[in-house]
Amino acid sequence: MAEVLVFVDHVDGAVRKPTLELLTLARRIGEPVAVALGAGAENTAAALAEHGAVKVLTHDASEYADYLVVPKVDALQAAVESVSPAAVLVPSSAEGKEIAARLALRIGSGIITDAVDIEAGDEGPVATQSVFAASFTTKSRVSKGTPVITVKPNSAAVEAAPAAGAVEALAVTFSAQATGTKVTGRTPRESTGRPELTEAAIVVSGGRGVNGAENFALIESLADSLGAAVGASRAAVDAGWYPHTNQVGQTGKSVSPQLYIANGISGAIQHRAGMQTSKTIVAVNKDAEAPIFDLVDYGVVGDLFDVVPQLTDEINTRKG
Amino acid sequence: MSLRIVVTVKYVPDATGDRHFADDLTVDRDDVDGLLSELDEYAVEQALQISENSDDDVEITVLTVGPEDAKDALRKALSMGADKAIHVEDDDLHGTDAIGTSLVLAKAIEKAGYDLVISGLASTDGTMGVVPALLAERLGVPQVTLLSEVSVEDGTVKGRRDGDAASEQLEASLPAVVSVTDQSGEARYPSFKGIMAAKKKPVESWDLSDLDLEAEEVGLEGAWTAVDSATERPARTAGTIVKDEGEGGKQLAEFLAGQKFI
Ligand SMILES: Cc1cc2nc3c(=O)[nH]c(=O)nc-3n(C[C@H](O)[C@H](O)[C@H](O)COP(=O)(O)OP(=O)(O)OC[C@H]3O[C@@H](n4cnc5c(N)ncnc54)[C@H](O)[C@@H]3O)c2cc1C
Ligand SMILES: Cc1cc2nc3c(=O)[nH]c(=O)nc-3n(C[C@H](O)[C@H](O)[C@H](O)COP(=O)(O)OP(=O)(O)OC[C@H]3O[C@@H](n4cnc5c(N)ncnc54)[C@H](O)[C@@H]3O)c2cc1C
């Protein structure tokens, strides 16, 4: 069976969930071969093998941390040349998309970004995209070269499927461009202990209606009662009430959780672009005319300062 | 010293309009107003700020690849303060994908001459966020992308990239390709004076032959990707909406419990 390269997103060897989802999708079109780069690359092997990787190609060098994007493109290109895969799958992060794009260009292939599903087709893998703020669903193919496809988080269920996961060292020669953009400083984000926004099964968001940074404590309490991630609208972020990294929408994160709870958010098209594919949508808004109510499975027209604390209490009580 | 900045700007269908696809599965531009992609306004803004903060002569050229009406996007950028504009327009460009768009842009950027290319973080229609990286690859220069802060001094571009795991300080020497996010600073509104001045600024029109490109390399025919179908997402079935009369939170908890979220 044809091999399918899966680019591994990991932090010091801890594989992030979107990569495990990619392994599930990769198995539909071939045998997954994972490519893990940077510090801790070899430590990814066990998790990748458990989820179907027949092989894990690894390589570590200081270039991956010291320079932007290109060293990873060089490595992925080396992997493509050694494996001749039927397709290359990359998680749809900002960096993932840039790596995928440059790789596609180098190997003379087309690229599809932000797929939400992949299936095998007569003329190669068919990718489903959710476009125009999720108002249309398209099915596309790469028609030239080896398909390079980036896939959004939460696009497939993670399934265990034990495979050999044999670790092999990847030989990489860095290109002249690899050291072009130097990373001169790095400030890691502090962990909040809450789930990662794009990977969370439940997201609780606050908007302009939350009316102040201090009131986001209400949103956080509700999130914690559900084990959820916290999101925010751009209005709340621009007002400085919550960090930009938590923004949901066109210029923030796009999320696709099982449950999305929008509090004090009107539902502008750019916000919808980032959350419209959530499975179940709930909103609390005091304006019965707010466009967000067109999307909801359940909506409460009311003041969030009354509804949210009551909801949080009730959830905590029910959990006992 | 002089600094030549090329800002790539895309003309896109208004996101608040009724966007949909034409029969050939390309974006239908007839039924919806177009505008300068709002995210490219941030790119124009940063070019203007680099110019304002520079002791060198800075020339800002705005570049678009798009149909006839895409001139509107160029006018907007010129009225914000850019110096001149290039419009790459050719019937054979219809349906060009990301790889093809980057080919045309790269050729035009090379022909125009540049020290720095500034792009938006993503268009508001295709929203791929890949064109700046593709341009860097094609031009063989560093990519310094997704910056929320950018500065240029002594032939070096520096910036801050706020990623998921970390915030990174980046540095590269010119020439380079930069893209900026909407966190980089509010874009200015064109002044009346700016709008009047824009009318007199030069707009060049280039077609494929000006860029030594063949029709087969671009457009739907030359595309590296193919769209097989586009279907409108079915409207969500109307949900339950309750008015809070003191029990709204509890009712919502009941719903969530029914859905097994609690
Ligand atoms: C290019 C571009 C990109 C953008 N990207 C994004 C993006 O990524 N994400 C994003 O969110 N936006 C984005 N926007 C902005 C978007 O257009 C809206 O301005 C924004 O989403 C509005 O945020 P909001 O819903 O919190 O605020 P508003 O629209 O002001 O809505 C606030 C809501 O809160 C309700 N409310 C007020 N008080 C209460 C209360 N006490 N209890 C209950 N409800 C209350 C109000 O009824 C209202 O519906 C973008 C815009 C542009 C042009
Ligand atoms: C809904 C939709 C989905 C699509 N999916 C794909 C796909 O999966 N694969 C594919 O190959 N193509 C795809 N396309 C086509 C692709 O979007 C266009 O070819 C486009 O010109 C490049 O991608 P982008 O608009 O997403 O730009 P991005 O990569 O998001 O744009 C980033 C920046 O590049 C610059 N830029 C982009 N286009 C132009 C332009 N024409 N003129 C000047 N500057 C520009 C701008 O500065 C912009 O801010 C899609 C188009 C649509 C409408």
ipTM of predicted complex = 0.97
**Phi, psi (5° rounding) for residue B197?**
-60, -35
Among B residues 4-23, those touching chain A with beta carbons less than 8 Å apart: 15-16, 19-21
Length of chain A: 320
Residue nearest to atom 38 of ligand 1 (CA): A209
Reported as a single tens digit per residue, the pLDDT across B147-195 is 999 999 999 999 999 998 899 999 999 999 999 999 999 999 999 999 9
- What is the model's pLDDT at position B29? 81
Share of chain A above pLDDT 70, in %: 100
B44 touches A: beta carbon within 8 Å: no
Whether the CB of A250 sits within 6 Å of ligand 1: yes
Q: Round to whole Å and give the CA distance between A261 and A247.
A: 14
Q: Which two tokens stand for residue B155?
A: 């032939």
Inter-chain contact A184–B171, Cβ cutoff 8 Å? Answer: yes
Best of B143, B224, B228, B247 to disrupt the A interface (most A CBs within 10 Å) is B224
B64 lines ligand 2 (CB under 6 A): yes
Judge whether residue A1 has pLDDT over 80: no
Interface contact flag, B261 A226, Cβ < 8 Å: yes
Q: Which of A130, A293, A298 sits opposite B255 (nearest CB)?
A: A298
Would you mind telling me the total number of residues written for chain B in this entry?
262
Which pair of structure tokens corresponds to residue B251? 């009712």
Q: What pLDDT is attached to residue B164?
A: 84
Q: Are the Cβ atoms of A113 and B130 closer than 8 angstroms?
A: yes
Ligand 1 pocket, residue A301 CB under 6 Å? no
**What confidence tens digit (pLDDT) does each residue in B21-66 have?**
988 898 888 888 999 999 999 999 999 999 999 998 999 999 999 9
Task: Determine the residue of chain A that is closest to B125 in CA distance.
Answer: A132
Q: What is the pLDDT of residue B17?
A: 87
A309 CB neighbours in chain B (<8 A) are 249
Mutate to test the interface with B, among A11, A15, A67, A68 (most CBs of B within 10 A): A68
**Cα–ligand 2 centroid distance for B133 (angstroms):** 12
Cβ B192 vs Cβ A207: under 8 Å: no
CA dihedral B12, A233, A138, A104 (to 10 degrees): 80
Instruction: Give the residue on B whose Cα is nearest the Cα of A97.
Output: B130
pLDDT band at A97 (very low <50, low <70, confident <90, very high): very high
Q: A140: which chain B residues are within 8 Å (Cβ-Cβ)?
A: 225-228
Q: Which residue of A98, A182, A244 is in closest CB contact with B172?
A: A182
Determine the average pLDDT of the residues in A200-223.
98
The answer to whether B248 contacts A310, with C-beta atoms less than 8 Å apart, is: yes
Band of the pLDDT at B129, cuts 50, 70, 90? very high
Q: Which of A228, A247, A235, A234 minimizes the C-alpha distance to A311?
A: A228
Domain at B2-222: CATH architecture: 3-Layer(aba) Sandwich (3.40)
CB of A114 closer than 8 Å to CB of A100: no
What's the gap in Å between A314 CA and the centre of ligand 1? 27
Confidence of residue B68 (pLDDT cuts 50, 70, 90): very high
Crossing angle for the helix pair A70-83 and A94-106, to the nearest 10 degrees: 50
Per-residue DSSP letter, A251: T
The sign one gets for the Cα dihedral B138, B139, B140, B143 is negative
Residue B19 contacts by C-beta under 8 Å, 6 or more apart in sequence? A132, A135, B13, B27, B28, B32, B125
| CA distance, residue A164 to nearest chain B CA (Å) | 30
CB atoms within 10 A of CB B258: 10
Residues of chain B contacting residue A98, judged by C-beta atoms under 8 Å apart: 129-130, 132-133, 143, 145
Residue B234, chain A, CB below 8 Å: the answer is no
B28 lies within 8 A of chain A by CB: no
Tokens of B243: 């008015």
Q: What's the mean pLDDT in B98-118? A: 98
Question: Ligand 1: which atom is nearest the Cα of residue A208?
Answer: 26
Whether B242 has a pLDDT exceeding 90, the answer reads yes
Q: Which atom of ligand 2 is nearest to the CA of B225?
A: 11
Substitution site in B7, B11, B97, B179 for ligand 2 pocket (most atoms within 8 Å of beta carbon): B97
* Cα Dmax for chain A: 61
Residue whose CB lies within 8 A of the most ligand 2 atoms, among B131, B184, B217, for a mutation test? B131
Read off the tokens for A147: 């398909």
Convert the pLDDT of each residue in A224-256 to its tens digit: 999 999 999 999 999 999 999 999 999 999 999
CA nearest to B201, candidates B77, B90, B55: B77
- Give chain A's mean pLDDT: 97
pLDDT digits (tens, 9 = 90+) for B154-167: 999 999 999 988 99
Q: What is the pTM (predicted TM-score) of this model?
A: 0.97
Q: What is the C-alpha to C-alpha distance for residues A242 and A231, in angstroms, rounded to an integer?
A: 9
pLDDT digits (tens, 9 = 90+) for A115-167: 999 999 999 999 999 999 889 999 999 999 999 999 999 999 999 999 999 99
Q: Tell me what pLDDT residue A203 has.
A: 98
Task: Count Cβ–Cβ pairs < 8 Å, chain A vs chain B.
Answer: 263
Confirm or reject contact between B24 and chain A (CB < 8 A): no
B218 by Cβ neighbours in 10 Å (0-12 / 13-18 / 19+) ranks as buried
Mean pLDDT of chain B: 96
What average pLDDT does range A108-121 have in this prediction? Answer: 98
Tokens of B38: 């709002």
Chain B interface, mutation test: which of A12, A69, A105, A194, most B Cβ atoms within 10 Å?
A: A105
For residue B1, pLDDT beyond 80: no
Closest chain A C-alpha to B81 CA, distance in angstroms:
25
**Structure letter (DSSP) for residue A12:** T
Ligand at shortest distance from the CA of B73: 2
Cα–Cα–Cα angle for B87, B90, B95, nearest 5°? 105
Closest to A76 (Cα-Cα) out of A182, A178, A199: A178
Please name which of A213, A100, A92, A107 lies closest in space to residue A154, comparing C-alpha atoms.
Answer: A92
The CA R_g of chain A, rounded to the nearest whole Å, is: 21
**Among the atoms of ligand 1, which is closest to the Cα of residue B37?**
1
Centre of ligand 1 to C-alpha A51, Å, is: 39
How close B122 comes to chain A (CA, Å)?
Answer: 8
